[in-house]
Amino acid sequence: MSDSPEQTRLQFPTSLGTSSADEIRLLGHDLTAELMGEVGFGELAFWLVAMRRPSPGEVRVLEAVLVALADHGFTPTAIAARLTYLSAPDSLQGALAAGLLGGGSRFLGVTEDCGQWLHAVLDDEDAPADADDTDAWDALALAAVRRTKDAGRFVPGIGHPVHKQGDPRTPVLLRIAEEEGLRGPHLRLFEAVGRTHEQVLGRRLPLNGAGVCGAALADLGLPVEMLRGFALLARAAGLLGQIAEERRRPIGMDAYLAIDRNAVYVDPDVTPETEEA
């Protein structure tokens, strides 16, 4: 007896959802009847990754992270996106791609790097039994910072080129996490790094916003290898703002020309050593 068409039909199981001619299912819900207008985008992103619906407190912390990381400033990423918008054939698509690639490789990597570093420390060493034991957290952080320095690596999440005395986003996110009962081990360890790193590095650096966002996302239980993805969600909003600003008040080309005109070109075969000779 030959198999019936139902038995031979290819199947590709997915827990996220699928669609038919008259219905779209997502996460076990009717997208149009149950999710649209009822679920925020940050909440949906969390749900899709974690496969569980976040609590209101978790949504508040996640939304705070997305807002914090939408900060784009006038960075090389923004300049690249503006110039690509002006010059590329597929301008909007190209500008977003240029900005996301640039931001993902440099600026947003701090979020992922910090979350992964904190997670690795807590994976190797038990967190203090008493979550409020500041001395124990400080000892754990001090040892981790010292190991990282001895290995010739940077401690992610500290230092900032602009907010040298303190990143204004950091205390706000810590406060929100505390209010929602979500100041977990990653954030506590991150705070301890802020209190102790000077003893090893010899100077005090601020805990930056990208780092505290990585710690907060890790405390939400999101996979640490996905943290850059959430940072990219936030960066996309900032890039859209940059491109809209470029349409209203173009400055990308002026910035590029100012840099180009002030560049000092040297013979590629000339090194500082040969110049001194």
For the segment 196-229, what is each residue's pLDDT rounded down to a tens digit?
Answer: 999 999 999 999 999 999 999 999 999 999 999 9
Residues whose CB is less than 8 angstroms from the CB of residue 28 and which lie 6 or more positions away in sequence, other chains included: 17
The pLDDT, as a whole number, for residue 145 is 98
Angle, vertex CA 162, rays to CA 157 and CA 166, nearest 5: 60
φ/ψ of 205, rounded to 5, equals -120, 150
Report which DSSP code applies to 207.
B
The pLDDT, as a whole number, for residue 273 is 62
Give all strands of the β-sheet with 24-26 in edge-to-edge order. Answer: 17-19, 24-26, 29-30
Mean pLDDT by 10 residues, the chain (277 residues): 65 89 94 96 96 97 95 78 85 86 73 96 93 96 97 94 90 98 98 97 95 97 93 88 90 87 85 59
The pLDDT, as a whole number, for residue 122 is 97
Q: Are 134 and 201 in contact (CB under 8 A)?
A: no
Give pTM, 2 decimals: 0.87
| Owner of token pair 């827990």 | 15
> What is the Cα–Cα distance from 210 to 65, expressed in whole angstroms?
9
